[in-house]
Every structure is written in C-alpha cells, then in structure tokens.
Amino acid sequence: MNSRSGRHQPLPQVADIPPRYLNLYRSAAAQYTVDWALLAAIGSAESDHGLNPETSSAGAQGPMQFMPDTWRTYGVDGNADGSKNIHDPADAIPAAARFLKDHGVATNRAKAIFAYNHANWYVRKVEGRAARYAAAARKAGLPAADRAAPGADTDDSADALSCPTLAQPTSSAGMPVAASDAISKVLAYAYAARGSMYSFGGDCTAPHSGAPARRCDCSSLVQQSYAQIKVHLPRTAHEQWLYGKTHGQVVPVSRAQPGDLVAFNSYLGPSTIGHIGLVVDGPRRLMINAPQTGQPVRVESYADRVTRPMFTILRLLRTS
C-alpha cells in the first residue's frame, strides 16, 4: 500500500499478462492458496488472458474455459455482484483457483493441472508458462511465484520432452542470447508462439487463439516476429527468401546465428522455397518454426535439410 495515499501501487508489467488479469490472478491465488503464476499460465493457455474467450467446439466457455457442468460445481461470485458469471474473469479466475485447490494442487501440482485438461502436453505447456511468468515477475520486482514442480518440463512446446537442449547461451526465459536487442525481440515473439498449433494461411497475430486465421504457418511466424522490430517481410517463404537475398546477406551454415532465417525447398519442389524458420542455435543447427498441419510451433533440427538444393541461411540485420 502507498502509506500517503492509502491506494495500491500499480503492479509492474509482467510478460504478456494484462494488468487487470495480473491483479485477478494474484488475488485469487492468495484466497485459495495456489501459485498465481500457475493460474496465469492456465489463463494464457485457455484464452490468451481473455483475448480469445470464444466457446470451444467441446462447449468450454469464458476466459478460463469451463464446461457448464464443471462451472455449476466450482463457479464463484468473485466480485460480489450477485452472480456467478462464467464469462467474467473476476468470477472465472477464482473459480479456476478453487478447482485447482480442490484437486490437490498443493500436494500434486501436475495431477491438478491434468484434471483441468486431460492431456500430458497441456501439463507441460502450463508448467512451462508458469515457470516463465515466475521468472518475469522476479525480473519486474514482483514477489516470485512458486517454481514449477520438480522435474516438470519448462519448455512451452507441445512436444517439449523431445525438444533439443540449446548449445548456445540462453536467457532466463530459455531463449538463446542474441547478438542484439532487436533480434531478442524477434525471438521473443517466436518463442511466445511455442505450443500453438500450425494453421496454413494464418497470419500469426494471435498464435494461441482459437481462430485458425490468427494462428501461425511457417512464413507468418517469421513475418510477425520481424514485424516486432518494424522489419516488414513479404508473406510467403519464397518471397521472404528473395527479400533476404536482396536486403540481407547469405551466410555459411557454420556461421548461423540466432535470428537468422533458415529457408529450404520442400513440398513445392526443388526450385521453390517451401519452408522457413528462425535459427536459435547455429552450432546445433536448431530452428524455431511452425512445421505443418497438426504440429505445434516448436524448436527442432534443420540439420537434415542442409543438403537440399536451395537451403539458405540469411541474415537480415548486420551485427558488429
């Protein structure tokens, strides 16, 4: 509290969490004795903190995606307005905290998350985001949230257990250390998209959205990542390759750095670039990319592509 005014000091920005949601996560966590970063991670996974609260194909509703039957059991009137509104985050977030507490989150965190959404990939995804939110909170000077459960995978990819370990230095968020702040911003956007499902033709403006048109394909992931530093790339992989050759520089595979484009021919034949990603570890030949339909944005190897006729590493920004 501010001792002079008696008003709460505004909370610092923590990662991508809107201030109102951050307040609600922390308040509900305190009330039900759960980790606020875990609540925030579930809110992110379920609706991108209320940005995409549409009813799912299974019938889950609101910012925390409760099924109506579950809501009848766990719904609360969090803001004391006389109603339990599944679509109101002031009610839905404490309801999620209540659900986690009732499912034993204090003694078996992974089991409680699994009860929320019955999928092992979901448990890994949520634990990964919770760990990163806790790290971001510490960096912002907010009291640290609980760490992820011992042994929990902190990679946000849906196939996190098979995600290679980076050989290059990494930041506290698990991203490779880039050659410049600009490239760090590029990679931050791409890393935030990990775990979101590929959508051919999607513009990647809301990767974790329930709307396919706003999720990522390979070239829109690269396009939107570079848009964060006002480098406006064309839309397709082949056009981005041409842009890189004209406005950037081709670099040897052995000199690849985080943030470089990695492009190669694929389903479009031997004379057209059909896939593109962003280098995250040059020595290990790893990239972050949106692979194909049915697969999530993830870090994976490009080592087996280097012999393809059009394989190219492109650097858009010069580094000292």
User: pLDDT tens digits for 93-147?
Assistant: 999 999 999 999 988 999 999 999 888 888 888 998 888 888 888 877 765 443 3
Residues 166 and 54 in one domain: no
Structure tokens at 123: 């448990």
Residues 227 and 99 in one domain: no
DSSP E strand stretches across the chain: 249-251, 261-265, 273-281, 286-289, 298-301, 312-315
Mean pLDDT of all residues in 270-281: 92
Torsion, CA 77, CA 81, CA 83, CA 89, rounded to 10: -60
Q: What is the mean pLDDT of the chain?
A: 83
Question: What angle separates helix 36-47 from helix 89-102, to the nearest 10 degrees?
Answer: 120
Residues 199 and 229 in one domain: yes
Boundary residue ending a domain (140, 173, 203): 140
> Which domain does 36 fall in, by range?
19-140
Rounded to whole angstroms, the Cα distance separating 130 from 39 reads: 8
Mean pLDDT of all residues in 14-30: 87
Residue 287: inside a domain: yes
Rounded to whole angstroms, the Cα distance separating 256 from 306 reads: 12
Boundary residue ending a domain (111, 140, 169): 140
Of the candidate ranges 156-170, 185-199, 306-320, the one whose mean pLDDT is the lowest: 156-170
Q: Is the pLDDT of residue 297 over 80?
A: yes
Rounded to whole angstroms, the Cα distance separating 184 from 190 reads: 10
Rounded to whole angstroms, the Cα distance separating 104 from 35 reads: 12
Residue 127: inside a domain: yes
Q: 303: which residues sit within 8 A by CB, 6+ positions away? A: 285
Residues 203 and 299 in one domain: yes
Structure tokens at 270: 């031997």
Total domains, the chain:
2
Residue 212: inside a domain: yes
The domain that holds 180 is classified in CATH as 3.90.1720.10
For the segment 64-75, what is each residue's pLDDT rounded down to a tens digit? 999 999 999 999
Residues 256 and 286 in one domain: yes
In percent, how much of the chain has pLDDT > 90? 48
Residue 244: inside a domain: yes
Of the candidate ranges 118-127, 157-166, 201-210, 211-220, the one whose mean pLDDT is the lowest: 157-166
Residue 149: inside a domain: no
Q: What is the pLDDT of residue 239?
A: 95
Q: What is the pLDDT of residue 250?
A: 96
Residues 67 and 116 in one domain: yes
Residue 26: inside a domain: yes
Taking alpha carbons only, the member of 216, 255, 254, 250 closest to residue 235 is 216
Boundary residue ending a domain (140, 171, 193): 140
Write the single-letter amino acid at 66: F
Q: What is the maximal distance between C-alpha atoms in the chain?
A: 70
**C-alpha distance from residue 203 to each of 49, 118, 219, 225 (Å):** 20, 29, 9, 11
Any bridge partners for residue 249, and if so which? 315
The domain that holds 115 is classified in CATH as 1.10.530.10
Residues 131 and 234 in one domain: no
Could you tell me the end-to-end alpha-carbon distance of the chain, in angstroms, rounded to an integer?
Answer: 46
Q: What is the pLDDT of residue 178?
A: 61
Q: What is the pLDDT of residue 170?
A: 43
Residue 228: inside a domain: yes
Q: What is the pLDDT of residue 148?
A: 33
Residues 132 and 208 in one domain: no
Residue 151: inside a domain: no
